[in-house]
Amino acid sequence: MLHKGKLIVSLCSALIVLYVVSVAFYGKVVAKDEAYKELSVFMEALKKITDEYVETPDMSKVQEGAMRGLLEALDPYSSFLTKDEFQALEKRKASGMAGAGMIISKRADVIYVVSTERDGAAAKAGIRPGDYLVAIDGSGVDDKSILEVDSLLRGEPGSKVKFSVFRSSRTKPVEIELTRKADAPVAVVSKMLDGNVGLLDVSSLANSTLDQVRVKLKTLISAGAQKLILDLRDSADGTVADGAELANLFLKGGVIYYSQNRQGEKVQEVQASPEKFITDLPLVVLINGSTAGPAEITAGALKDQKRAVVVGEKSFGAGSAQKQIPLKSGAVLILSTAKYYTPSGKMVQDEESIRNTGIKPDVLAPDDDRRQDLMVESYFDDQNDAAKYRQLQDRIDKIQLEKALEILSKSQAQLKKAA
């Protein structure tokens, strides 16, 4: 009888938590009836579990599972961590800040490699953008949040970590081992191309990269650059503020981005500051499928403000703000509370349709037919898999750069028309 009483108390606790989260999820007063309907489904399911499950259920695990599923069903960046999971995560954070040199997200509920740091540990070991992480050091990651997996990637500088990776070109996972490297600023590359075109390659927006960008941009202009290419391919880290600051270098005024909550209200609107503006030289921005987060804020602002022609492939689509919410039990909710929009109202991250996510280029390069041809040619190449991949990417990069130069060779009037 005592056991039954405890079970009822646990069940009631679970129902209360589920009800609160359900109401929070639906939010608006007009949706309360719907929240009650959803709660009745939980109640019915829990009653069936308590009455008919083959063993006496552990209700704390049932509650944790329900919470985890509820949060992870919202979007890739919302998650639920138990007290033990959160404490373990904080401990791993404190133990070392060396990383694996990759940016991750989720696609189809699987951990997905968005980009790899140029010459970083992941890239050198053979991990590629588009890979799916199956396991880390032999432990599966399919039930872990992005935050947890990101913490597992970190450790003491020089320590090793093993990955099981699935990629579309293989029928079984690839086993890869890498050595973690201490985080360090990624160098901004700049150079002058033919036709007085200045190229600014910003593959990262983390670790005070913007200081380098300002210096190198001014140096290119001083060296005689009359047109510019801003290369944001594979740029996926940093903060939203960094993306706004980068866009501001090329914008005298106007909206750079805004965020919006579930009621459709603007939470924040960021405007360009005239004092941060550097140049209005003709500009092309290069993006690809590994352009994400802050770099998408930059590309979206410059595209919508007709300040640049965006060339390449559709970007990844990562644009939401998360809030960490501690619960009385010691568990933690990681909850997306706002989404980012470009000046024209384009949502960067759209959970409804993957096709609508990300920034679409003004000029697709290579186009679908050319990309297919390149992939077929690569397939029949005699080189090993790694060499084939690198050669294919180099050819795509070259096509995109050539298209940018072609656009910049037009007159200023043609450039504006193309935008």
| Residues 83-182, CATH architecture | Roll (2.30)
Label residue 13 exposed, middle or buried (CB < 10 Å: 0-12, 13-18, 19+).
middle
Q: Is the pLDDT of residue 103 over 90?
A: yes
For residue 66, the model assigns a pLDDT of 74
Look up residue 351 and give its DSSP letter.
Answer: S
d(CA 45, CA 18): 12
φ, ψ dihedrals at 73, nearest 5°: -75, -15
- C-alpha to C-alpha distances, 328 to 82, 331, 344, nearest whole angstrom: 11, 7, 41
DSSP H helical ranges for 318-384: 368-379
Say which residues have a Cβ less than 8 Å from residue 22's Cβ, sequence separation at least 6.
Answer: 35, 38, 39, 42, 70
pLDDT at 156: 86
pLDDT tens track for 272-291: 999 999 999 999 999 999 99
Q: Tens digit of pLDDT for each residue in 215-249? A: 999 999 999 999 999 999 999 999 999 999 999 99
CA distance 109 to 75: 9
Domain ranges of the chain: 2-73, 83-182, 189-321+338-418
**Range scoring the smallest mean pLDDT among 116-120, 157-161, 181-185, 190-194:** 181-185
What digits encode the pLDDT tens for the residues 253-275?
A: 999 999 988 788 888 999 999 99
d(CA 261, CA 336): 9
In the chain, pLDDT over 70 holds for what percent of residues?
Answer: 86
**pLDDT tens column, 1-42:** 434 434 444 444 444 444 444 444 444 444 445 555 666 776
pLDDT at 245: 97
Q: What is the CATH number of domain 189-321+338-418?
A: 3.90.226.10
Reply yes or no on whether the pLDDT at 47 is more than 70. yes
Q: Report pTM.
A: 0.84
Instruction: Kindly report, residue by residue over 108-127, the tens digit of the pLDDT.
Output: 789 999 999 988 999 999 99
